[in-house]
Amino acid sequence: MAGPADGVLAECEDAFAASAGLFAAACAELAAPKAAVMTHAQLEDLLGARMREVTRQLFQDHLTLRAGNEVRRQEVMDAAGAPRSRIERDRHRRLATVFGKVTVVRIAYRGTGVADLHPADAVLNLPDGMHSHGLARLAAIESARGSFADACERINAHTGSGIGHRQVQELAVGAAADIDAFYDALVPAPCTDTTPLILSVDGKGVVIRPEALREDTAKAAAAKGGNAMKTRLSAGEKHGRKRMATLGAVYDAEPALRTVDDVIADPDRQDDAVHGTAPERRPGPKARSKWLCGSVNDTAAQVVGAVFDQAEHRDPGHHRPWVVLVDGARHQIDLIKAEARQRGVKVHIIVDLIHVLEYLWRAAWCLHDSGDACAENWVARHARVLLGGGVQQTATALEEAARATELRGARRKGIDEAVSYLTGKAEYLRYDTALERGWPIATGIIEGACRHLVKDRLDITGARWGLSGAEAVLKLRALRSNGDFDAYWAWHQQQEYTRNHQTRYRDRLIPTP
pLDDT band at 222 (very low <50, low <70, confident <90, very high): low
Residue 512 confidence (pLDDT): 84
Mean pLDDT of 308-331: 95
pLDDT band at 205 (very low <50, low <70, confident <90, very high): confident
Q: Distance between alpha carbon 491 and the CA centroid of its chain, in Å?
A: 16
Q: Which of 190, 197, 191, 192 is nearest to 347 (CA)?
A: 197
Assign residue 428 a region (left: φ > 0; alpha: ψ between -120 and 50; beta: otherwise).
alpha
- Does position 201 have pLDDT exceeding 90, yes or no? yes
Q: 67-74: long-range contacts at Cβ-Cβ below 8 A with a sequence spacing of 24 or more?
A: 67/104, 67/105, 67/106, 67/120, 68/15, 70/106, 70/107, 70/120, 70/513, 71/513, 72/107, 72/513, 73/107, 73/109, 73/119, 73/511, 73/512, 73/513, 74/511
Q: How many Å apart are CA 363 and CA 378, to the nearest integer?
A: 10
Residue 461 confidence (pLDDT): 74
At residue 289, φ and ψ (nearest 5 deg) are: 50, 45
User: DSSP E strands: which ranges in 155-306?
Assistant: 197-207, 242-252, 288-295
**pLDDT tens per residue, range 260-271:** 999 999 998 866
**pLDDT tens per residue, range 55-74:** 999 999 999 999 999 999 98
Q: Which of 491, 426, 437, 91 is nearest to 256 (CA)?
A: 437
pLDDT band at 237 (very low <50, low <70, confident <90, very high): very low
Mean pLDDT of 150-172: 92
Q: What is the pTM of this model?
A: 0.84
Compute and round to an integer the Cα radius of gyration of the chain.
31
